[in-house]
Amino acid sequence: MIPLPLLLAASLVGNAVLLAALFAFSPSAATGSSTATNATDARRPADSVSTAASPTLWKNISASDLTAQKARLIAADFPPDIVRAILLAQIQDNFAARRKGLNPVTNPTKEFWKNSQTTDPKIVNELRALNREQRKAINDLLGPDPQAIPLQGALDDGRTGLPPGKANLVASIKRDYSEMRDGIFADAIGGVPLPDDRTQLALLEKEQRADIVRALTPDELLTYDLQTSNTASTMRSQLIGFNPTEAEFRAIFEKRHAFDERYDGSSLVGQFTAGPTAPPTQDELRQRADAQKQLTSDITAMLGPERGAEYQRSLDGSYQMISRVVDRLGLPTTTAMDAWTLQKDIQQRAQAVQTNRQLAPEDRNAQLTALSAEAAAKLTATLGPRGFDVYKNYGGQWVQNLQPRPATGPAGARGGGTTTITGSRVGP
């Protein structure tokens, strides 16, 4: 097996060669120059060579029919990799425009702080069909190529917020590291990774990040992270009920991204955890918990009393779930707050009933049953009958949990029958 450092070096060289070819290749200039000129150009940087490209080259080669354009590129002696890259970029552009037409409210580049993922089943199905159509178009025009899939998926269509050249450079870096990771996954026969496998995956993740950092300016890197990082993705999903402004999102991201880089590690390595692993020590768990509390406290103080309280509420799993239900049903945003407040009130009252040792079991059961009925009635009024039916399966199980649960006695016990468990769970 090739040592990992050599693979990393080969990856970087491959990226450089591909970029030089993409931005500097000019068949007409290359064939029309003298041997001396070629020798001089070979010593120039790639961006200097690119100035020799014929200004009419693209006009002569481009065509609305991509099949015809492919034939012209091949006739002009463009290398196969360049032909593929040019055609993939145009296919991606065409389908990106159609995706925007299906889901015009999605604007990830300009409004990255919003959760713009559509929840409309009709649009979701149409987007899936469009993805299948795009894959077929690529396969019909260019044929199956393992490198084509990651490249076309990462070309700039607004997902990274980067200029197309930089977006494609990052895509190339990620593709190379993905191929190296695939080799490690393939070696884990039967899903039994070894400690060395995890070490190599962690190193690959670290080196990929370092290559991306080197490829981008600080502003570009921040833009890229705001669009594509795990931190930003989690925030867009988690803060749906908080509805942050762009300034708030950026300020929260700065603190949370630093925390995630320190404590969360590699998501790819985290997914590769079959077999024995070294669990974190109690001290490590305590340090992370303390750091998490400090992070929340810092963000709350930064936002101020009112917005800070709203931010803390948005971290509550019950509030996140009811916010998603409200968003999916198109209800007013205040509905989530009303339902969440009702849940907290009912659960506190149920807890008081359960811990009241003065109540007889039958009285306790009766009061819990009444609280369950009250919760169902008030939530139906708040969410509507259809909304409550949806909520019961997505976060509203606590209403049913208020009901005392009947339990069958031991098998074969004299008299059979059932007993009633009064210690029903009141949590979410």
Concatenated DSSP letters of 138-152 = HHHHH---TTHHHHH
3-state secondary structure of 246: helix
3-state secondary structure of 121: helix
Whether 94 and 145 have beta carbons less than 8 Å apart is answered as no
Phi, psi of 321 (to 5 degrees): -70, -45
- As to burial, measured by CB atoms within 10 angstroms (0-12 exposed, 13-18 middle, 19+ buried), residue 121 is exposed
pLDDT in tens, 10-47: 444 344 434 344 444 444 444 444 333 343 343 333 44
DSSP 8-state class, residue 103: S
DSSP 8-state class, residue 395: T
pLDDT in tens, 84-130: 888 888 888 888 888 777 765 545 556 777 766 665 667 767 877 88
Whether 350 and 402 have beta carbons less than 8 Å apart is answered as yes
Of how many residues is the chain composed? Answer: 428
Distance CA 122, CA 102 (A): 10
Closest by CA position to 296, among listed 256, 242, 254, 258:
256
DSSP 8-state class, residue 421: E
Tokens of 252: 């929260």
Instruction: Name residue 359's amino acid.
Output: L
- What lies within 8 Å, CB to CB, of 5 at 6+ separation is none
Whether 405 and 354 have beta carbons less than 8 Å apart is answered as no
Distance CA 191, CA 85 (A): 35
For the chain, the maximum distance between any two Cα atoms, rounded to a whole number of angstroms, is 105
Give the pLDDT confidence score for residue 13 in this predicted structure: 39
Give the pLDDT confidence score for residue 119 in this predicted structure: 57
At CA 419, angle to CA 413 and CA 420, rounded to 5? 165
Give the pLDDT confidence score for residue 36 in this predicted structure: 37
Whether 383 and 329 have beta carbons less than 8 Å apart is answered as yes
H-state helical runs in 52-120: 57-61, 66-75, 80-102
Whether 318 and 340 have beta carbons less than 8 Å apart is answered as yes
Give the pLDDT confidence score for residue 186 in this predicted structure: 67
DSSP 8-state class, residue 241: G
Question: Block means of pLDDT (10 residues each) for the chain, length 428 residues?
Answer: 43 41 44 39 39 60 81 85 85 82 59 66 75 85 57 48 86 86 69 74 89 94 91 89 92 94 58 50 89 95 95 92 90 92 95 92 93 95 94 91 68 46 50
Whether 315 and 293 have beta carbons less than 8 Å apart is answered as no
Distance CA 161, CA 139 (A): 27
Distance of CA 98 to the CA centre of its chain: 22
Residue listed under structure tokens 């001396």:
36
Closest by CA position to 211, among listed 21, 5, 6, 11:
11
